[in-house]
Amino acid sequence: MSFKLKTILGVGLIQLILLSILVYNSLQYLKKSNQEQFLQRADTTAHLIATMTSDALVALDLATLDALVSQTLLNKDVLYLRIIHTNGKTLAQGGHKDALTKPFHKDATIDQAMHDGIFHAQSDIRISDHSLGQVQIGLDIGVYAQLMTQARKRMLGVAATEIIFVALFGYLLGYLLTKQLTAIQSGAKEVAKGDFGHTIPVKGKDELADTAISFNKMSVALKEFAEELKEAKDKAEARQVRAETILQSAVSSIHAGVLIVNENNETVLTNQSLKDFWDTTSLSLEELISMSKDNKALRAQRPIISLFEEADKYVRWTEVHEGDQYVLISRYKIDIGGFIITMTDVSSMYEAEKREKDLQRNLLQSQKLEALGTLAGGIAHEINTPVQYIGDNLHFLKSSVEQLAEAFSLYHALVQNLKEGEHAQQAEQCLNKYEEVEVDYLLEESVTAAEESINGVKQVSNIVHAMKEFSHPANKAKMAIDLNHVIERTSIVCKNEWKHHAELIFNFDENMPEVPAFEGEMNQVFLNLIVNAAHAIADKGGRDNTITITTSYDADHAYIEIKDTGSGVPDKIKDRIFEPFFTTKDVGKGSGQGLAICHDAIVNKHDGEIEVSSQENIGTTFKITLPRHTANKAPKTPNTGDDHA
């Protein structure tokens, strides 16, 4: 309901209430005074007639009484008149017949006369204190009622007119009052719509004008404030855009994968490196995360996923193996919810570390061989000289003994001839001594001993030579080498390892061509394989064990098979035996490097292959394939050994 309407209704209602009270009171007052006037008039009229009839009544002059009655009834408001004697007898009457037939009851008030419209009044006819009779008169109250109706109508008409005026005035007042308010209201609407600074016209100098001025001031102040706010907002937005751009660029430029997730596990920011990590699957990151919740297998496959569920730790670093990559993952909890995940591919670090380990191992190996070579060279030198002159002396002794034997046989024949002559006794002594010391036997055995010693010295010389060659190969570059010779020589060096457990059988192709290879590396390969075979046989135990080394070739390749009758490689470790540092042997007996070195030498350095086939408790065969012609291609980068066996 508008203010204007409220004003009109309010003023109208007050006016109505006041007017109603006024009209009611006035009508009541009018009614009362008219009634009193009417009662007084009725009383006076009855009394007057009683006075006028007293003389005629005393004289019982009925004609006069009738004339008086007729005279009185000429008054329009007198409806009937009756004059009664003290004895109750009606002396004269006239007027309203109905009223005259009914018994007379005096009315005390107008209200009592209302039921028949006649006011019944009476007055005693007296002379002195003596009652002669009674006047009964009926007065028409229609005049009174008409008077009252007229008075009521007029009052109500005045009241209605006043109400109309008041309503008009109220409307006018409401209009004047609300005119400024309406202007303020529409101004406020404009401001609410965002038209800050909107002003309204100010009229007059009253309180509403003051309100309009205050409104205008407020609107201008709001405009200034809004402008300041917008400026601050623009600046803040520009700063935010800048910060976001810097963040986005920083995140994009990082080599590591970055993923920022909000508190609802929704991706906020990622970079290309991260997407590359997930390229292996056609699922989106969100799908992966939601699937992973109840998918253990997937979690095991992509361990990064578990990072999404562990929210208790603030920072967490994990290293996982993702496909072919080694990934270092960090999970950093954000204070306001969510977290940042970084994924760094550390595969190259791993590779470098592995290469370094290989290098170190090779270095150690070559240092060991170097030292052994130097030592063996020294020993060979030291042993060679005495062996040389022991050999020479043995040869000398052998030929001396042989010559002595010849000389002795001549002497023996001579002494035989002297047995009959003058030197018979001396000859007898010589022959006895000859028999006693068994000269023939000694001479014979001395030659055999010398021959055996010469063989022994030859063997010593061979071993020393083999050791020197083995540990200090003549060529460090790739050269055409005689594999049969290399294998033979290596088996001499490690004879002590196998001779107590097995027989070594060479099944060589005598026409084996020379093959381009690093001699030192091949020494190492055959040594490791023969020693492994010997260990496997020692593990299994038993008799009649053999290590058979077979060589063969075709147009492009040379093949070497080293077959043993040892314990065999259990299936469950077959995939691992080429791994560096994998060993099943006790500490001190094996370090797990032998086959890793073989693999590296054959596959990476010679472009060849090495395969293993084995049956538990039956034996193992390592088969090496070497290209007979060096290919002109870049060297292979070492791998983790996934193409083993």
Residue whose structure tokens are 């190996």: 365
Residue 583 binds which of Mg ion, ligand ATP, none (CB < 5-8 A, kind-dependent): ligand ATP
CB 619 to ligand ATP: min, Å: 8
> Measuring CA to CA, how many Å separate 24 from each of 182, 277, 403, 471, 479?
40, 99, 186, 144, 144
> Considering CB under 5 A, how many residues would be counted as binding Mg ion?
2
CA angle, 268 then 271 then 273, to 5°: 145
Give the three-class secondary structure for 329. Answer: strand
Kindly list the distances between the CA atom of residue 147 and the CA atoms of 86, 152, 309, in Å, as whole numbers in the listed order. Answer: 37, 9, 101
Please select the residue that binds ligand ATP; options are 594, 600, 605, 624, rule is CB under 6 A: 594
- Note whether 566 binds Mg ion by CB under 5 A: no
Which residues, in sequence order, are bridge partners of residue 78? Answer: 139
Stretch touching Mg ion by CB under 5 A, among 103-111, 126-134, 327-335, 589-597: 589-597
Please, are residues 327 and 320 in contact by the beta-carbon 8 Å criterion? yes
The site partner of 582 among ligand ATP, Mg ion, none (C-beta below 5 to 8 Å per kind) is ligand ATP
The single-letter code of the amino acid at 92 is A
Q: Which residues pair with 550 in a beta bridge?
A: 507, 561
- CA pair distance 367, 364, nearest whole angstrom: 5
Choose among Mg ion, ligand ATP, none what residue 585 binds, the Cβ cut-off being 5 to 8 Å by kind: ligand ATP
* Residue from 372, 358, 389 nearest 640 by CA: 358
**Applying CB under 6 A, does 536 fall inside the site for ligand ATP?**
yes
Q: Residue 607's closest CA among 558, 640, 565?
A: 558
- Region binding ligand ATP by CB under 6 A among candidate stretches 85-93, 229-237, 306-314, 585-593: 585-593
| Residue 577 interaction partner, one of ligand ATP, Mg ion, none, beta carbon < 5-8 Å per kind | ligand ATP
How big is the CA angle at 334 (ends 331 and 335), to the nearest 5 degrees?
A: 145
Q: Among all residues, whose Cβ is closest to Mg ion?
A: 594
Helix or strand run (H / E) with residue 44:
helix 3-58
Which of 8, 251, 259, 569 binds ligand ATP (CB under 6 A)? It is 569
Site for ligand ATP in 546-565 (CB under 6 A): 564
**Closest distance of CB 590 from ligand ATP, Å:** 3
Q: Is 580 in the site for Mg ion (CB under 5 A)?
A: no
Minimum distance from residue 584 beta carbon to Mg ion (Å): 10
Contact at 8 Å (CB) between 159 and 23?
A: yes
481 contacts 524 by C-beta, under 8 angstroms: no
Q: Which member of 15, 180, 532, 567 binds Mg ion (CB under 5 A)?
A: 532
Query: Site for Mg ion (CB under 5 A): which residue of 594, 608, 619, 641?
Result: 594
Which of Mg ion, ligand ATP, none has residue 133 at its interface (CB below 5 to 8 Å by kind)?
Answer: none
Terminal C-alpha separation, the chain: 97
Q: Please state the separation of Cα 468 from the chain's center in Å.
A: 66
Query: Of 12 and 592, which CB lies nearer to Mg ion in the complex structure?
Result: 592
- Residues near 100 by beta carbon (within 8 Å), at least 6 away in sequence: 80, 82, 93
Piece of the chain touching ligand ATP by CB under 6 A; list 91-99, 192-200, 440-448, 527-535: 527-535
Say whether residue 608 binds ligand ATP (CB under 6 A).
Answer: no
Q: What share of the chain is helix, strand, coil (3-state, %, to 5)?
A: 60, 15, 25
Pairing of strands 546-553, 609-615: unpaired
Measure the CA dihedral 431/435/436/439, to 10°.
100
Retrieve residue 609's tokens. Answer: 């292959």
CB 566 within 8 A of CB 620: yes
- Distance (Å, whole) CA 174 – CA 204: 16
Using CA atoms, how far residue 314 sits from 311, 330, 338, 340, 639, in Å, is 8, 10, 11, 11, 37
Q: Which of 262, 366, 546, 593 forms a contact with ligand ATP (CB under 6 A)?
A: 593
When asked if residue 197 is in the footprint of ligand ATP (CB under 6 A), the reply is no
Binding test (CB under 6 A) with ligand ATP, winner from 591, 604, 613, 625: 591
Interface map 26-55 toward ligand ATP (x if CB under 6 A): ------------------------------
Establish if 528 lies at the interface with ligand ATP (CB under 6 A). Answer: yes
Residue 591 contact partner, candidates ligand ATP, Mg ion, none, CB within 5 to 8 A by sort of partner: ligand ATP
Q: Which amino acid is at 513?
A: P
Among all residues, whose Cβ is closest to ligand ATP? 594
Partner from ligand ATP, Mg ion, none contacting 592, C-beta within 5 to 8 A by type: ligand ATP
Q: Looking at 134, 270, 271, 567, which residue binds ligand ATP (CB under 6 A)? A: 567
Instruction: Write the CB contacts of 604 (distance below 8 Å, at least 6 apart in sequence).
Output: 635, 636, 638
Query: Among 582, 607, 625, 645, which residue sits at the site for ligand ATP (rule: CB under 6 A)?
Result: 582
Shortest distance (Å) from residue 399 CB to Mg ion? 48
Q: Which of Mg ion, ligand ATP, none does 170 bind, CB closer than 5 to 8 A by kind? A: none
Cα 137–Cα 138–Cα 142 angle in degrees, nearest 5: 150
Q: Is 533 in the site for ligand ATP (CB under 6 A)?
A: yes
Select from 19-27, 460-468, 553-561, 582-590 the region that touches ligand ATP (CB under 6 A).
582-590
- Provide the 8-state DSSP code for 304: G
Selected binder of ligand ATP within 133, 170, 338, 566 (CB under 6 A) = 566
Cβ at position 585, least distance to Mg ion in Å: 8
Q: Which stretch binds ligand ATP (CB under 6 A): 113-121, 494-502, 503-511, 579-587?
A: 579-587
Give the binding-site size for ligand ATP (rule: CB under 6 A): 22
Nearer to ligand ATP, 212 or 533 (CB): 533
Give which of ligand ATP, Mg ion, none residue 564 binds (C-beta under 5 to 8 Å, depending on kind). ligand ATP
Tokens, residue 385 = 């000289």
Which residues contribute to the site for ligand ATP (CB under 6 A)?
A: 528, 532-533, 536, 564, 566-569, 577, 582-585, 590-596, 620
Q: What does the binding site for Mg ion look like in residue numbers (CB under 5 A)?
A: 532, 594
